[in-house]
Chains A and B, each alone.
Chain A
Amino acid sequence: MSEAILAIEQLEKSYGGIRAVAGTSFTVKRGSLTALIGPNGAGKTTLFDLVTGFVHPDRGAIHFEGRAIAGLPPHRIARLGLVRTFQLTRVFAAMTVMENMMLAPLGQPGESLLGLITPGGRSRRSEAALGERAMALLGHFNLQDKSADYAGTLSGGQRKLLELARALMASPRMVLLDEPMAGVNRVLGKRLLDYVEELRRTTDVTFLFVEHDMDVVMTRADHVVVMAEGAVIADGPPDAVRTDPRVIDAYLGEVAR
């Protein structure tokens, strides 16, 4: 439990003179449910983009399961088992919900032209197995009746659920969730979090999530990292973070204003 799955060291990224991420360092423990919080503009989404390879850092290092991943392209990082969702959901709109799910698993035999022409029906068997898994996962998020609909016809909340379900289809070692609860109704949101907790109990998948709902953060996360102006200002268990004067000043202070 105590081993770090993700280690971020002195990470820096500037956009035209604005330091979005300014020497950030923290670690995420394997199997934990870690929350990343902070006021708007604290650099949370930039940090996600840096970790998943969509943006390359100016300085600093990122280690995932002991491997340096800073500067790798996104698909290479995803293949190591580090999968993300996006703050503004990115479903494949003109593909069905089921196709969205079936796309996600890594290393499918039918995904290469060579794999398609090798005889033995490996692709067909893999498709059948993945279809069953996808349907079961959709069931957990109440999306099973939507499987044949275009993903673009889903509501905002349903898209969030689909994006999480799709990320889980990739059998990740670690999932980064960017505001998974935004736009999701309370009942479904609770369902989503319950499922995440169940996954954590039964497997050792690690979750790092950005969330603005303090109730959710304080009751569900077992570790909280607080960022402000591109740097980590507090890092610890929820109870310690809640009472940290720097956090109250930087973050909760903003809410009061």
Chain B
Amino acid sequence: MSVDFWLGVGVIAGIYGIFVLGLQINVGFTGLLNLGQAGFMSIGAYAMGMLVTDAGWSLWWAMPVAILVAVVAGILVGLPSLRLRSDYFAIATIAFAEIVRYTFQNADFAGGNQGIIGFDQEWRDVSDWLLDRFTRIGLGDETQLPLFLAIWITFFLCLIGLRLLQRSPWGRVLRAIREDEDAASALGKNVFAYKLQSLAIAAALAAIAGFFLSFNVTYLYPSEFDPTFTFFGYAVLILGGFASYGGVALGAVLLWSLMEGLRFLHLPLSTGQIGSLRFVLIGLILILASMLRPQGLLGRKAEMQLRQ
């Protein structure tokens, strides 16, 4: 297993990390079961791709605008669905993500199943330039290194921002809503407006994760963003622990090290069988982890018990 292999694992783990930070603010800190995170990711990534390839924008302008597009999508999805009870909200968000996926799959403007290519030249120029510098200072020519660094620097910037928010009076209101939304509204807090903001921030983080995902695979096609992405995201969340942003990083690295590391099982089985066995083993590990440490790696057991 080469350095490049583990850099690749780090890239995927980092993309999931950013993606799950969004789930964490919804699920862990606001009590919103958002199952449509992959939908926001594809909206952000496609908005970026289309602004570059169709409208001829610079990638560096397309990215912030695509984040705004995802935020607006978050608000539009939230306006009707956040008025529903929490379990119905969860169902509505799955439906939203599927609508988005089928739309991109079938609509001409999104390239259908052909997808979109050629939006990432400006990123690749930066990546090549960085790689050249790294080679000169003797870091070797690990092609994934620039992307790896960009992703994890972004992750930690988002983490710091979210931690500051969580410690602010704003973050306190979110947690109060998670604990008891009626009591929060009896104290004058506009619960609906806070939920909407929480969802919009999650959508922005999903969009950023979507940019890096599309840089990694170098083109955009609908099945990149299928619902399993959201469900692997929840596996990261459960492994890392609720209401902990640090746990997200740990959970993402652990899950994807297992996912990719288990490819190298040496067993007298066919490749297909090993592929299936991988998921069986990961399932078992997740079950064991939630039995032995139900609060997750960095979750707080006391808080979990108090909430029951």
Contact = CB atoms under 8 A, between A and B. Distances in A.
Contacts, number: 97
Interface string B138-182: 000000000000000000000000000100111011011011101
Interface string A61-90: 000000000000111001100011010001
A147 to B, nearest CB: 15
Contact of A150 (B173, B176, B182, B302): B302
Contacts of A95: 172, 175-176, 179
Given A74-B185, A75-B189, A90-B182, A150 B169 contact: no
A111 B180 CA distance: 17
Interface in B172-202: 172-173, 175-176, 178-180, 182-191, 197
A91 B169 CA distance: 17
Contacts of B185: 73-75, 78
A166 B187 contact: yes
B108 interface: no
Given A95-B179, A102-B172, A116-B170, A75 B307 contact: no
Interface size on A, as a range, is 35 or more
User: Which of A79, A110, A126 is most buried by chain B, counting CB atoms within 10 A of its CB?
Assistant: A110
B199 to A, nearest CB: 13
A14 interface: no
Contact of A90 (B168, B169, B180): B180
Interface residues of B, number: 27
B102 to A, nearest CB: 33
Interface string A180-218: 000000000000000000000000000000000000000
Contacts of B183: 86, 90-92
A152 interface: yes
Contacts of B169: 102-103, 108-111, 123, 126-127
Contacts of A127: 169
B197 A113 contact: yes
Q: Is the interface of B mostly helix, strand, loop or mixed?
A: helix
Contacts of A103: 169, 172-173, 176, 184, 187, 189
A99 interface: yes
Contact of A92 (B176, B197, B302): B176
Contacts of A150: 302-303, 306
A46 interface: no
Contacts of A112: 170
Contact of A94 (B170, B179, B189): B179
A86 B184 CA distance: 12
